[in-house]
Structure 1
Amino acid sequence: MATGAARVMAMICVSDRERARGFYRDVLGPVLGIGAPGIDHFGDQFPCGDGFIRLTALPDFTPGPHPVLGWQVDDVGAAVAGLVAKGARMLIYPGFGQDEAGIWNSPDGGARIAWFNDSEGNLLSLTEQR
């Protein structure tokens, strides 16, 4: 039984903790509102919205092909532009029908989505719900 409002903590595995910390702090932080990390012996914990992103280093970590974390944003085009200006690269999947910025429009017009990798190869996403 919960004693208060639970907050989400996304657990992200990384192979290079310092490189990942820099990416989440310097690239994602200013654009997506990720705060300065708390750092301990086991990982880095960034406040984000009502929850946290926890980076944990695993030296032999290999990222998977599916998204591990995403953000719902008000304007995906502005978020993409902000991330690209900080050095992130949006992914374009051949035959998927994304625009030149890497944004995919759902067939029903209800969502616009863009995908990118973090510094460790984890797949991340941005979604604008309409």
Structure 2
Amino acid sequence: MNADDRNLLARGRVATRLPAQNLDRARRFYYEQLGLEPVDERPGGLLYRCGGTDFALFESTGSSTGAFTQMGWEVDDIETIVAELKRRGVVFEEVDLPGFRTEDGIAEIDGNYPSKGARGERAAWFRDSEGNLLGIGEPVAAAAPA
């Protein structure tokens, strides 16, 4: 197997799939709270596009545990976005654990994503109408070399 054979998926686009027990309720949440409209609709599914990347909500009898972040957006100004989403009724997770705490829904995470040239990330999490845990992150730039 050569290197190109091992990297078959590296050239593919990644798209998230999120389960929804009630697609109409999910559509309302994504429109009213997040301001998103589907770019395509098929029986049992809604397709959304954000920043050139797709994600789909699909009708499912199963549900997410919500125990981990299933999808996230990388943004430039997390404070403004969190404030606007709160105004629209989005409820952010509050966490108070040793070494990991949110303040007004936003956590400071040191050492996250060093491969992106960031020294950390500011992050916030909320659940959609179907219990899927979604995140918002703003990379914190690495300090310039002295």
TM range (shorter): 0.7 to 0.9
Amino acid at match of 1:23: F
Amino acid at match of 2:133: L
Amino acid at match of 1:12: L
1:105 aligns with 2:115: no
Please give the secondary structure, in 1, of the residue aligned with 2:91: coil
1:75 corresponds in structure 2 to 77
2:24 corresponds, among 18, 22, 45, to: 18
Amino acid at match of 2:20: V
Q: How many residues align?
A: 123
Give the gaps of 5 or more residues in structure 1.
none
CA displacement 1:72-111 (0-9 Å, x = unmatched):
0001111101111111001001233211x11111235621
Cα distance, 1:123 vs. partner?
0.5
Amino acid at match of 2:129: S
2:87 corresponds in structure 1 to 85
How does the TM-score come out when normalised to structure 2? Answer: 0.75
The CA RMSD over aligned residues, in Å, is 2.0
Give the gaps of 5 or more residues in structure 2.
112-118, 141-146
CA displacement 1:29-55 (0-9 Å, x = unmatched):
2xxxx4434211120111211121100
- Among all aligned residue pairs of Structure 1 and Structure 2, give the percentage whose two residues are the same amino acid: 32
Please give the secondary structure, in 2, of the residue aligned with 1:77: helix
Cα distance, 1:66 vs. partner?
0.5
Please give the secondary structure, in 2, of the residue aligned with 1:128: strand
Q: Which of 1 and 2 has greater Rg?
A: 2
Pair 1:35–1:47, CA change in 2 (3 A): farther
How does the TM-score come out when normalised to structure 1? Answer: 0.83
Cα distance, 1:117 vs. partner?
0.5
User: By percentage of residues, which structure has more strand?
Assistant: 2
Cα distance, 1:6 vs. partner?
4.3
Would you identify which runs of 4 or more consecutive aligned residues in structure 1 move more than 4 Å? Answer: none
